[in-house]
Chains A and B, each alone.
Chain A
Amino acid sequence: MARKPDEALLMAYLYDELDNPQREEVAAYLQAHPEVAEELNRLNETRQWLQKAPIHTPKEPFVVTGETSAFTTSNRVSHRVSNRVKNARLWQWWASVAAALLVMLIAGIWSNVRVSWKAKSLMISFADVPEPVAASINILELLQKPEAEKYIQNEVVKVVYAENDSLKQELNRLEQLVANRQVAPSGPTKIIKEEVDMRKIEDLIKNSQKENYRFILGLVEASNQKQRENMVQLTEQLIKKIHSQRKDDLDAIQTAYNNLLFSTNTRQEETDLILSQLISQMNYKEHNGYE
């Protein structure tokens, strides 16, 4: 064999799966090329290592479950193996879920998440949830409750109602009604129902909502206007500051340039003077015959 046998041929030789003529050819080549024989020997050693591994014997009998249980290899039909695998996986699953929840909890605490249960609903927020505004409360229902006085005395309601004369009158009327209820505890609901006109109350709420909206709109517009003015002022100030800075910088550069010019001229003059002195000395020496 002139050429080196390829990997396939070497493997077939190593595992004795060659026919006689081929085996003799490879053997002859290996005799002539000890380096290839050495390489094959090393592979053979690796094989011997692999042979040192034990034969793995399952301790459990063959176990199958369900409809295939017809061919168990032992009378001791057991679900142990599959159950153990399933249990291990179940445990891993639950552990993973618990870890995920823990991570979420830590992330929630870190990001200041608030979770609360209010009015039959779960609320998740990143800050304190503000209380609902007074205008959204049903006044009829509120007046029938013991905390009606609180609503009447609410500062927000008072401010909103004080904006409008008619609303103010209505507020006074409501206050009177609540006072009456306190004076005559027997049947306050009846008195309120007689005195308060439903439509008026609804109109009152709508008006107060509109007023609220306009008030907030006005506030937002005023705030925007103020911000715009502030921005213009800031921009102007910034431009002035930049101009002033630029002027200062230019002055400083001019001064430095002048200083440099002066210094250069002075040194030039000094150099010229020294050179002229040297020349005159040389001329003197030459004239007097010095070497």
Chain B
Amino acid sequence: MSLNSTSLVEKACQGNQAAFNKLVNLWYQRVYNFCFNYFSDHDRAMEATQKTFIALHQHLPSLQKPNLFKSWLYRIAINFCHEEERKQKRRGWFFWNTTEKSGEGKTNTSWTSTLPNPEEALQQQELASLLAKALKSLPEEQRVVVIMKEYEGLKFKEIAEVLKMSENTVKSRMYYGLKALRKILEKWNIHQENIDYGAQTR
């Protein structure tokens, strides 16, 4: 079933509980993945995902254009991510912790179980951790665009719809986001050759 199944959205809008459950099943993992890439933290990603679907349940009947469901859902998720980030900043001065819990999030992925051997698993895990860290160090507006483009596979036009800005601005943010990531990876001395060399020596 397509993620953009308009008929399913229409049914859910009309109050069909089964259609709504299917919609949740279809989008749950993607929204979680988006939130996880945003926070690099399992708990916060779960929190934002839950809030997104609760808001979806409350406001879906008011959705005027079911064909815009995808951008609408992402917009809700982004808003909750922003809210969660703001909360975190507010309590940051009082509560130590919590942004460094990314290790916990990584253990909750299905990544490790599908890898052929422990050494490669470890290397991939480290790489994933570095990438998450690099992504986290991007400015928020660039990070959102990079995540939506690279991990969610949205077109520039769709991202522009979600973020309510011009397509050119989105592309520009993507360009500078990729450039900044490149610089960070170079600074950490991460090159394609390093990884290839590691693979050959095994």
Instruction: List chain A positions with a Cβ less than 8 A from chain B.
Output: 7-12, 15, 17, 42-43, 45-60, 62-64, 68, 70-71, 73, 81-82, 84-85, 88, 92-93, 96
Contact = CB atoms under 8 A, between A and B. Distances in A.
B57 A58 contact: no
A64 B28 CA distance: 12
Contacts of B36: 56
B5 interface: no
Contacts of A55: 29, 33, 109-111, 151
Contacts, number: 134
Nearest to A10: B175
A64 B56 CA distance: 12
Given A43-B178, A57-B109, A81-B46, A17 B156 contact: yes
B150 to A, nearest CB: 5
A58 B21 contact: no
B contact residues, range? 35 or more
Given A8-B168, A11-B175, A52-B127, A42 B182 contact: yes
A9 B36 CA distance: 30
Contacts of B81: none
A7 B175 contact: yes
Nearest 9 A/B pairs, CB to CB: A54-B111, A7-B175, A8-B171, A11-B171, A56-B36, A57-B110, A8-B168, A46-B182, A50-B150
Contact of B24 (A7, A17, A71, A84): A71
B179 A43 contact: yes
B128 interface: yes
A10 B135 CA distance: 21
Interface in B45-104: 45-47, 49-50, 53-54, 57-58, 94-95, 97-98
Contacts of A70: 17, 57
Contacts of A45: 182, 192
A81 B53 CA distance: 15
Nearest to B167: A8
Nearest to B115: A54
A9 B175 CA distance: 10
B28 to A, nearest CB: 5
Given A56-B111, A64-B53, A92-B95, 18 more contacts: A11-B172, A12-B171, A15-B149, A43-B182, A49-B181, A50-B150, A52-B131, A53-B37, A55-B33, A56-B32, A57-B29, A57-B109, A62-B28, A62-B49, A70-B17, A85-B47, A92-B98, A96-B94
A46 B28 contact: no
B14 to A, nearest CB: 15
